[in-house]
């Protein structure tokens, strides 16, 4: 079921991104008076197709789903009746052809703005950037940070969550050098630090940890908030409100101790001592194994009692009015687009490992993970992938939209279209580059699967 859920989340995301991209081309073509012959989601043999509209455009869903296309009336692709020549793509002025090609990537960027706008108005939950343990010898320790400080600004950019902090720190780390950070300590005083980013590991999955940033942990008491009816704990006599004090004779200080003990204990029976209204009671329970992401996990069917006040000290729901939300959505899309281009450039220069490139397996995994986390996480993932797709398609690589734009720019400079032979060679080079990139991305996917 987990694999089916992941594939479904991936298919929905991919379908939305492809349809939005191709609808951009379609709408621009219609606005410029170009006849559209086919609108296809996917490549290859159509699985489902129908005709609609005044031009009887063929709408289809094809067998190979990683992409799509809009086929327009064009003399280079077949004979065109004399009366329909004015509606052929190749007969349109270069300015209109540029608009039609540009509309696809721009639609993906506009989708990202729309999604972020909705999210910023709805509210995005996140962890406040409050520091936990400061580890000696790290860049954070050298900058003089103390446990309990809450980050306020990174390079004069306000931050309200760890995601904000990571975003601005990565951008500064690409530049290298030092960055100014302001923070508030537990007494309310505002402090200023200068953090050295010269040794930051941008390639690391734990970028913040590589600098010494550790999130403050929510210490959850070992008090049971809920007992699953019919589960091992329910059958053993556990009750909501019980405080776990001993597990297998070992003392318990927090809920993490309970979770770790059950995980390590596996399915072996165990004795749990609980404090129930001041009376100590020994309960014998046998955990049951459940499969989660392909692994067996021991559970007894209990959940912690969460202190909402403590949660409020660590979590935030960042919400903005429509106007401010739109500006923030536009800025987020613009900054993410620019940063995506910068990271691509760094990879080409060899400053950042190409192992960061992910293919369909990685994207599908992220789609599944974000969908399990909820609507907000899934829409955030969708916005990020939409930006990546838009930026990627604008690169001046033949076959991609950016390659066609490159041809049209050359046409403007030359005063006439490029020779067919030059375009044919460019297309071959583009296909080679695109397939090489896909091969690298799939290799990275498989390597991550094998090495974990």
Phi, psi (rounded to 5 degrees) for 306: -95, 130
- Nearest alpha carbon to residue 438 among 179, 63, 67: 67
* Strand-strand pairing, 302-304 and 224-227: antiparallel
DSSP state of 342: H
- Nearest alpha carbon to residue 55 among 84, 13, 23, 90: 84
Contact assessment for residue 10 and residue 358, using Cβ atoms and an 8 Å cutoff: no
Q: In angstroms, what CA-CA distances link 24 with 46, 50, 99, 109, 182?
A: 21, 20, 10, 11, 43
* 409-444 CB burial, b ≥16 within 10 A, e <16: eeeeeeeeeeeeeebeebeeebeebbeeeeeebbeb
Indicate if the alpha-carbon torsion angle 366, 371, 377, 383 is positive or negative: positive
* 145-169 CB burial, b ≥16 within 10 A, e <16: beeebbbbbbeeeebbbbebbbbbb
Q: Residue 110, SS3?
A: helix
- Give residue 169's Cα distance to chain centre: 18
Per the structure block, which two tokens stand in for 45? 């043999």
* Strand-strand pairing, 250-251 and 224-227: unpaired
| Active site amino acids | 22
What distance in Å separates the CA atoms of residue 152 and residue 323, rounded to the nearest whole number? 23
């Amino acid at each position: 079921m987990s694999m089916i859920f992941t594939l479904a989340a991936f298919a929905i995301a991919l379908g939305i991104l492809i349809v939005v991209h191709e609808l951009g081309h379609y709408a621009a073509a219609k606005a410029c008076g170009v006849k559209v012959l086919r609108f296809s989601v996917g490549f290859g043999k159509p699985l489902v197709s129908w005709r609609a509209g005044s031009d009887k455009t063929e709408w289809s869903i094809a067998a190979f789903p990683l992409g799509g296309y809009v086929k327009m009336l064009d003399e280079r692709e077949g004979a065109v009746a004399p009366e329909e020549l004015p509606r052929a793509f190749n007969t349109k002025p270069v300015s209109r052809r540029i608009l039609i090609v540009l509309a696809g990537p721009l639609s993906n960027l506009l989708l990202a703005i729309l999604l972020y706008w909705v999210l910023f108005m709805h509210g995005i939950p996140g962890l406040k950037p409050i520091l936990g343990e400061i580890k000696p010898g790290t860049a954070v320790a050298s900058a003089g940070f103390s446990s309990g400080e809450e980050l306020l600004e990174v390079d004069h950019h306000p931050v309200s969550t760890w995601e904000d902090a990571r975003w601005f720190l990565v951008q500064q780390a690409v530049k290298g050098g030092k960055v100014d950070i302001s923070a508030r300590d537990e007494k309310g005083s505002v402090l200023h630090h200068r953090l050295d980013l010269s040794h930051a590991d941008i390639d690391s999955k734990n970028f913040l940890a590589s600098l010494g940033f550790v999130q403050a942990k929510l210490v959850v008491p070992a008090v049971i908030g809920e007992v699953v009816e019919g589960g091992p704990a329910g059958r053993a006599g556990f009750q909501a409100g019980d405080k776990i004090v001993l597990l297998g004779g070992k003392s318990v200080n927090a809920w993490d101790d309970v979770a770790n003990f059950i995980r390590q204990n596996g399915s072996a029976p165990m004795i749990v001592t609980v404090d129930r209204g001041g009376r100590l009671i020994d309960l014998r329970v046998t955990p049951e194994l459940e499969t989660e992401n392909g692994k067996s996990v021991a559970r007894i069917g209990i959940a912690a009692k969460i202190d909402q006040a403590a949660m409020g000290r660590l979590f935030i729901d960042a919400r903005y009015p429509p106007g401010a939300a739109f500006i923030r959505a536009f800025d987020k899309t613009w900054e993410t687009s620019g940063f995506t281009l910068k990271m691509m450039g760094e990879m080409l220069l060899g400053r950042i490992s190409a192992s960061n490139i992910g293919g369909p397996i990685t994207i599908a995994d992220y789609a599944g993970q974000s969908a399990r986390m909820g609507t907000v996480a899934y829409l955030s993932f969708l916005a990020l992938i939409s930006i990546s797709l838009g930026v990627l398609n604008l690169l001046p690589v033949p076959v991609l939209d950016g390659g066609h734009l490159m041809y049209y720019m050359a046409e403007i400079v030359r005063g006439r279209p490029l020779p067919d032979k030059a375009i044919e060679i460019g297309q071959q080079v583009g296909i080679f580059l695109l397939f090489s990139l896909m091969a690298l991305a799939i290799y990275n996917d498989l390597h991550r699967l094998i090495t974990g």
